[in-house]
A and B are shown apart, each in its own frame.
Chain A
Amino acid sequence: MTLTFEDFKPGHFGTFGPRHITRDEIVAYAREYDPQPMHLDEDAASASMLKGLAGSGWHMCSLMMRMIYDGFLHKTASMGSPGVDQMRWLAPFRPGDDLTLDVEVIEARASQSRPTLGIVKFKFSTRNAKGQTISEMITPIMVGRREAAAGN
C-alpha cells in the first residue's frame, strides 16, 4: 500500500530507527566529502570545538535521508523535494551512537500548479540513545495524490 498525500496530516507521524553509527562509516564519508581533521582523527577532534571524533554535518543530512527512506519514503509516492528550509546541527554525532528519527508533519497543502501532487512540510529530528537532540531539519517533500497514484 503506497502512502499518498492524503496520508500525511499535521502532527506526529512516526518514530524510526535506531540506526547504529560506526567509526568506519564516519571516517569513510569524511574522506570522500568532508576531510576535516575533526571528522577523521581522534587527536585533532579532541582539540576542536567538537571535543572528540564526530561525523560531518553533511553526513548527518545523508544519513537522515536514508532513515527517512527506510522509515516510510520507500512506500510513499515521493516525487522529490525542492529544498530544505532549515537544518540545525545541534550536537555532534559520534561512533557508537544509536540514532532515532522523529517525524512530524508541520503542514500538508495541495499544489496549485500541479493537481497530481501535494507538498508535505516535515520536521525531522534525530536524537541519540541519551535523548540528546542531534539535528533538526525542516523540509518540504512533494507527494503524489491518491487519485493520481491510482491512475498509474
Chain B
Amino acid sequence: MRYLEDIQIGMRRELGSFTFTAESIKAFAEQFDPQPFHLDEEAGRTSLFGGLAASGWHVASMCMKLLVADGQRAKAEAEARGEEPPVGGPSPGFRDLRWVRPVLAGDTLTYSSEVVSVRATATRPGWGILQSKNVAVNQRGEEVYSFLGSVFLPQRGGAA
C-alpha cells in the first residue's frame, strides 16, 4: 500500500497466475453459484460457454486474492527500503466489470493491475481515491476479465 502522492497514472503491477481446475470450479460453484454450467461438464458443454465454466465470481475472487498478495509484497518491499507503508482504506465499489470470455476447466489466468486515475476526496479529508483497471488474460493471451476498481488511500501526513 502506498500514499496517494506516490501513485502515478499508468503504474502497473503483475499480480500472478492461477489455474482453474474442474475441482476448484465446482467447489466455488457449490458454495456460491450452483448453476449447472458451473457444476457439470455436460451442462457446460451444451451452454453458451461450451464447457465446464468457472463462476464469474470465482474469477473475481481470485483477482482479489492476488491483489491482496501483491499488496503484501509491496508492503514488504517498502519495509525493506526502511519506509513505513500506510494502511489503506476500504473500497467503495467497482464499475464496468466484464466477463469477456468464459474461463473453462484447465484455463490459466494471469492477472495485472494498472492505475487509471487518482484524486483527493472532498468527503474524507486526508484520503483520496485510486482507480485501477484490473485485467486477466488466459493462456492464449486473450482478455477474459476486467473491471475498474476503486480504493481509498491516505495522503502523506493527512489521514488520521
Task: Judge if A129 is at the interface, Cβ distance under 8 Å.
Answer: no
Is the beta-carbon distance between A61 and B60 smaller than 8 angstroms? yes
**What is the CA–CA distance of A66 and B60 in the complex, to the nearest angstrom?**
15
Query: Known contacts being A73-B35, A87-B97, is A50 close to B90, with CB within 8 Å?
Result: yes
- Among B31, B61, B68, B92, the residue within 8 A (CB) of A88 is B92
Interface stretch (choices B5-13, B48-56, B77-85, B111-119):
B48-56
Is the beta-carbon distance between A69 and B90 smaller than 8 angstroms? no
B contact residues around A57 at 8 Å (CB): 90-91, 93
The total number of A-B Cβ pairs within 8 Å is 92
Chain B nearest Cβ from A49, distance in angstroms: 5
Is the beta-carbon distance between B96 and A33 smaller than 8 angstroms? no
Is the beta-carbon distance between A66 and B33 smaller than 8 angstroms? yes
**Size range of the interface on A?**
35 or more
Question: How would residues 117 to 140 of chain A score, 1 for a CB under 8 Å from any chain B CB and 0 otherwise?
Answer: 000000000000000000000000
Task: Judge if A35 is at the interface, Cβ distance under 8 Å.
Answer: yes
- The B interface is mostly helix, strand or loop, or mixed, namely mixed
A contact residues around B48 at 8 Å (CB): 79-80, 142
For chain B, the count of residues having a C-beta within 8 Å of the partner chain is: 33
Task: Judge if A89 is at the interface, Cβ distance under 8 Å.
Answer: yes
Question: How would residues 56 to 98 of chain A score, 1 for a CB under 8 Å from any chain B CB and 0 otherwise?
Answer: 1110011101100100011000111111111111001000000
- Among B57, B90, B95, the residue within 8 A (CB) of A65 is B57
Chain A to chain B contacts (Cβ below 8 Å), 11 pairs: A38-B90, A48-B89, A49-B90, A49-B152, A50-B90, A56-B64, A61-B60, A65-B33, A79-B47, A85-B97, A87-B93
* Extra inter-chain contacts (6) besides given A34-B64, A62-B31, A89-B93, CB under 8 Å: A34-B65, A49-B89, A58-B64, A62-B33, A78-B35, A88-B92
Closest 8 CB pairs of A and B: A84-B97, A62-B32, A83-B98, A88-B93, A33-B61, A58-B64, A33-B65, A62-B57
Residues of A bordering B, CB below 8 Å? 29, 32-36, 38, 48-50, 56-58, 61-63, 65-66, 69, 73-74, 78-89, 92, 142
